[in-house]
Each structure stands twice: as structure tokens, then as C-alpha cells.
Amino acid sequence: MMKNTKQNNPIMKIGETIPLSIKRLGINGEGIGFHQRQVVFVPGGIPGEEMSVIITKVFPNRAEAKIKKVFKKSKDRVTPPCPIYETCGGCQIQHMSYPAQLKEKRDIVVQAFERYTKIHRDKLNVRKTIGMEEPWAYRNKSQFQVGKIDDTIIAGLYSSNSHKLINIDHCLVQHEDTNIVTNKVKQIIRDLNLPVYDEKKQTGSIRTIVVRTAFRTDEIQLVIVTATNELPKKELFVEEIKKRLPQVTSFVQNVNEEKTSLVFGEQTEGIYGKDTITEHLGDLRFELSARAFFQLNPEQTVNLYNEVKRQSNLTGNEKVVDAYCGSGTIGMWLAKDAQEVRGMDIIKESIIDARKNAEKHQIKNAYYEAGKAEKLLPKWVKEGWQPDVVVVDPPRTGCDPVFLDTIIKTKPKKMVYVSCNPSTLAKDVHMLISNGYKVEQITPVDMFPQTSQVEAVCTLVLK
């Protein structure tokens, strides 16, 4: 039999203009339409819009395009208030009204479950997205790379899909204190003529300006990341920071000598003030060092944790596992309503922090152990400690398959899954519902307004 050597020609060609109806929003915030059954991704498109688009990239199973003209605009289209919205790329959906953002984020979660599980859309109990009253100025931390163009000091983010540094003087999703501090530090770097790091030449010193502010205490931490051990003109630098930025309570230097996209290096040294700043979440208090992980949106973190508490529905008799516990925040949020909380994490330093936090808050029914959940859970069960509820907040890649297998074998009555990636959440849920669990409820939470990211809290119960 002769082989069919005919090549399939692409349906679309780069530079071609085609008409397109936007049907839904993609997980990265782009509009999605179909041309001759081929999927087309269009940044800036909104569901319900009719437009002509220019094809920019073609792949075997999809194409990418840019908007040429919108013939039928969505009632949800708004003018992005940020002047560098399209070049920056840090936000993806500022062109949509906030109520529409919340609606579409819920739909992104529903789409993920439709794609990766066999649960029909009508059978999914997905609640409305928990949003913010004021969806701006919510980020408590900025990390802006420093550059120099002629005699001008710039600091900001790299443009999406490029290595061009975009100067950001005023980021609308950052707390205003982080903008103020960053801009004054840029002025100081210029006035003192400090050597800025050049990635290509690998010369200079000042790499990154990191500012974190505590919403509840108003304390501010400034971190200067350098490519050299010495902070250039250190005494003059400190003098100017004290004079121009008296609100900074913690000034720290971090050294990153590596050629890497990672912001922080391993070496951190306090310059003046405290090594940490203090932040509150509800009744809990946390000391934040320069490299400590902490949620970027404190206001919504409280809403997220309260949703975990609501879905856990504890009565005071439950044994709760806080898997991937980090410094123990979620477990401590639940502790007063549980009989006992046990947390585990593979990072020993996180467990040390969790123990300190529990002791500081006089939480006596929380126990923390360093190690993998797939080893610790079976050990505890063997010792006669059977968990009733397992709470998990994994990285974007989702849960380790071995961990999910451990859940299936140990059979807790309930699992509350906090996810920052609807796709990996749905994939993990599919494994669990194939092995004796059913989805009780899902609530999206908008931790990052104006971006395409969406968090979700999903509860599964043993059938």
C-alpha cells in the first residue's frame, strides 16, 4: 500500500487577516475564537466580540493573532487605566470591567474541570468568584529590575515575550508605598552615580529594588539586590535613604552574583533597622524577613483562608493535616476549630518557622514535622492517628501523584484543596474522583485582580 505523502497545509498563514468571534477567555487571559475549527488565541479579545485579526504565529494545532479591528465591542470592554498596560504585560485583563473579570475567572475554573474531568458543567457546584471591593493597589511587594539608558536610571519589569526592560514609575496594582520608595531609590542611585548591573557585560552592581510594605503596621522593608558583595558607596547610600525615606524600617542587602533570572541570591545582610517587618493576618502576626514567602495580597488572603475554614466546616473534633504547610499559616487559621492540626513540609526551615509561629500564638494543638506527606501520613495512620480533613496548598504544578495515592489509601473523610492553577487542580481532582471521592463545592478567589490568575478552593468528600 502506498503511503499518503500529502502534507496538510496550514489553514492560516502569518500576516493573514481573518474574521473571528471570541467565544471564551483562555487561562492566560487571551480571547479564544475558532476559524475553520482551528483555535485562535487573541490577547485583548473579550467573549462576545466580533473582530478582524491578523495572524502572528501558526502552530499545528492553534494560531495566535493580534486585533486589527473590533466590529462588535463587548459591553464589558473598558479603557485600561495603566498607560503602559500593553507593553508591560504584568496585567492581562485590565481592558475588562471588574465584574466581567470575576465572571470569566469562574468560567476558567469551569473550563478546566470540563477539560480534565468527566463531571458535566451542570453538575459542578462552582460558586461566584470572591472579589475585592477595591481591586487596585493590593500588592504588598514589588521586585523591579534596575537598568540604565544613557544617564537615566530605570526600574521595572521585562516586557512580555521579550527581554526589554519597561520602566514603571507608578504601578496601579502595587501598594502606593512600594511605588514611592522605588522611585526615590532610583533618584538616589542616579544622584550618587551608583554602578548599575549590566547583564550582557556582567559589570556593575545594583540589580534589583525590592520593596515590601506591611498593610497593618505600615512598616516598610527595602532590599537592594547587588551583583557584588560590597554595596557601592554604602555610607552615602544609607545616609540618603534615612534622609529621603524615613518610613523605611528595614534596609537589607542581598547578594546575587549568578547569571540567572532568579531575583535573590543566598547571602543576605541587614544594613540598618530591623531584619524583618511585622504583618498581621486576622489575629495572627508574622515576622517577614527579606526572602520569606508571604501572600502578595493580604486582604484577599484573609478571604481565602476564611473560605478554607468555611469549606472545612470543623466542629472541634477533627484531626486536620496541613500538607505543604510552609510556615503553617493555613493550619494555624484552622487550629482553634480543630482537635489537632499536623503539618508537614519538605523544607526544614519552613517547619522551624511553623513551630515558632505556633508557639508565638500559643497554639498548643498544632504539631509540625519535616518530611514528605507520602511517608508521614502512613506513619501517623499506623500509629493510630487517622486524619479527618486534609488541607493542601501545593505549587502550580499540583500535588505529587504519590501524595494523591497516599490520600486515596489513607482515606480522610474530606480534602480541601487550595489551588493557584485550575488545570492542575482539575487533573488532580480527576484522579481523586476516580478513586472514591466526589467534588462537594468549588469557590474561585481573585487574589490578583487585573491579571488572568485565579485561585480556587475545592472540597472533596469520601463517598
- Helix axis angle, 234-244 relative to 176-191, nearest 10°? 140
The residues pairing with 69 across neighbouring beta strands, listed in sequence order, are 52
Please give the Cα distance from 321 to 341 (Å, whole number): 6
Pseudo-torsion of CA 296, 298, 302, 304, nearest 10°? Answer: -20
- Is 91 assigned a catalytic role? no
**DSSP labels for 334-376?**
HHTTSSEEEEEES-HHHHHHHHHHHHHTT-TTEEEEES-HHHH
The helix/strand/coil state of 139 is strand
Look at the block and give the residue holding cell 494523591: 404
- Least Cα distance to 131 among 462, 458, 454, 459 occurs for 454
Q: Write down the catalytic residue from 82, 88, 171, 420.
A: 420
Grid cell listed for 314: 470543623
Please list, in sequence order, all residues whose beta carbon lies within 8 angstroms of the beta carbon of residue 278, skipping any fewer than 6 positions away: 214, 217, 219, 285, 286, 287, 288
Please give the Cα distance from 287 to 276 (Å, whole number): 6
Task: Specify whether the CB–CB gap between 42 and 20 falls below 8 A.
Answer: yes
The residues pairing with 157 across neighbouring beta strands, listed in sequence order, are 166
- Helix axis angle, 401-410 relative to 422-433, nearest 10°? 40
Task: Specify whether the CB–CB gap between 155 and 167 falls below 8 A.
Answer: yes
Task: Specify whether the CB–CB gap between 42 and 52 falls below 8 A.
Answer: no
Helix segments in 77-214, DSSP class H: 85-88, 98-116, 176-191
Please give the Cα distance from 368 to 459 (Å, whole number): 23
- Least Cα distance to 302 among 98, 126, 132, 127 occurs for 132
Grid cell listed for 49: 466580540
Pseudo-torsion of CA 87, 93, 94, 100, nearest 10°? Answer: 170
What are the catalytic residues?
420
